[in-house]
Structure 1
Amino acid sequence: MPPRTSSPAARTPFAFVQSVMTAYTRRGMDAADALEKAQIAPDAQGRWPARVSSLQFERLCAAAMQELDDEALGWFSRPLPWGSYGMLARASISAPNLRVALRRWCRHHGLLTRDVVLTLDERGDANGTASVTVHEQRDMGPLREFALISLLRNVHGLSCWLVDSHIPLRAAEFPVPRPPHADVYGPLFPGPVRFGEPPRAALRFDVAYLDLPLRRDDAALAQMLRRALPIMVLPYRRDRLLALRVGQLLRHDPAHGTESLAAALSLSPRTLQRQLAAEGTSLQALKDEARRERAIELLQRSQRPIKQVALAAGFRNEKSFIRAFRGWTGLAPGDVRRAGPARAGQHADPVPDTGRDDGAVAGSN
């Protein structure tokens, strides 16, 4: 019978529950006890719920991992005994930064199984993109989708937890057809999700996150491992590189406004402002910095008229630009052009944030 309709709070698709049940079937075991612990059951007509809550699924996985003594839940040719992924986390916790931690995770995962090989590629591209890729060495059959989503969600969730930062994804790629429950991927993988075409499952993100230091210790790890599944499911909110990313967007287009920046970062305008304040800065201060850098670069490296420099730096007119530029540097734009880099750098501190944007292009606040 088709699955019955579930409550609004139930977001985990039954397909994932079915994968756990398949792991039991492959081992010749009954999943009834684990399903009962998770309070997952068919209705009187024998219909299973279309979706279950995250807490129900957490309880199901916890029971299944212990009963099957397999933290991989049947994905691989041999079980990964209870505590395997905890061992990988302990091997990574002493790393100085996320780069080393992920290298260790990928290398040590190969000691547990060769059915998949995880690699960290930080060579990047023109956009400075790093990636963690899953190279499949065997056919995982009907458990393939659940295995790939779990492997990458584990990597992403643990990475965010280790550096105590939301790590937005430039892409999450899955070499499987778009499933009927594709809507659950968005909350699990914050960024564009692609199905079908990519040859391998992979996460792609800004390479700068690899330089973040780890902010957890052994005591925090021990506490987390007592209930690890939530960090693999619930997205982090704090982004320790948010100011850097906003600055990059503003340098590319100084006329960006709050709405367009928030949309580009998959945040609400209110959340963007609040998280920047938590980092000790503001959108106005970052705008001033980006405009100042752009203006000084154009003054020193081009012969554009001052009016054109003002427009390129995000100002409506030359007068407002000159006023702001004097506040930033203590000099007039023409003085900086004549003096060259040395003198411009002497007064390059941004003005304090006033909450105003005098003379900026319309819509840039």
Structure 2
Amino acid sequence: MQPTTVASWAAVIWRALEARGIAPRPVFERAGVDTEQLHDAGARIPLSAMKRLWDLAVEVTGDPCFGVSAGQHVHPTTFHALGYAWLASHTLREALYRFVRFTRLVSTALTLRTIAVGSEVELVFESVSNVSPVSLAAADAGAVALVTMCRTSYGDSFCPLRVRLQRPQPPCEQQFTAMFRAPIAYGASDNALVFAAADLDRVLPTGNAELARAADEVILRYLARFDREDVVTQARMQLMELLPSGQTSAQRVAEALHLSVRSLQRKLSGHGTSLARLREDTRRELANQYVRNSRLSVGEITYLLGFSEPASFTRAFHRWNGMSPSACRRAPGASGGTDSDQR
């Protein structure tokens, strides 16, 4: 299947061209990108067409650093519901983990991973194997967009500690320096942003567990429609819907997906997981969101997650986070989950 990008990502190019007084429509038409797709929240654009669009934008502007300015035109809707899930995240670490988990929504040609090293966290951008490299402008815009989203949530003072870029040093290096406000290594072996863990763990004023969960559900539904073969996403979505009833058996999930239990188990095993693991992961993620929402009692959370009694939920929460739900609520910086490598 040809790699694709969510169509709303192309809107940053449109806005960046307009800001320079350049009519975007002829550029999009030359690239073979249907401008009507920009108004369709679920539309996707082939990576090959996006590469032509980025290259043409650089050509018509004559700016080799066009990606830097384009990335700053990012808006929460640029990333579909993932943008709103980001804004509702408790911390930037949680927001980044969401981006890592749902990168496929933005682009099927890209993967992200975080690596925690001491007091630092690296966000590494990687191209999917057997996919042609994206244009330099697109890679530039992606890194800039992530930092811009961080500043939207954290404040304009936010800066990465360091930046690594595979691209050669550009003639307009000052644009990169002004944007990132951090040391930049050009010609690096990978593209990465390095953050201070303390910055990522600061509680954000925009955090809202209920809205984050709702946005996650929208993302899962979108991915389930977009990629019918992604049985992991479809099973996760069904588990989120079935948890309050407590009816999350393999039989119930398989029926909802129109599969036999054996077929469901085989497909999940092929993706290196199982229904039990997905159930545990989904409960843990939702528990961390719900506990931060002080309006929900432990009893209500117990019901929403399908546990038989509050004591069972409390034991599970302690196993996941090393503390009780009440202790987590008293710890302002608790972000729930401390995996050092989220893939």
| Same fold (TM > 0.5) | no
Structure of larger gyration radius: 1
Whose helix proportion is higher, 1 or 2?
A: 2
Q: State the structure with bigger RCO (CA 8 A, min sep 6), 1 or 2.
A: 2
Q: TM-score, normalised by structure 1?
A: 0.37
Q: TM-score, normalised by structure 2?
A: 0.40
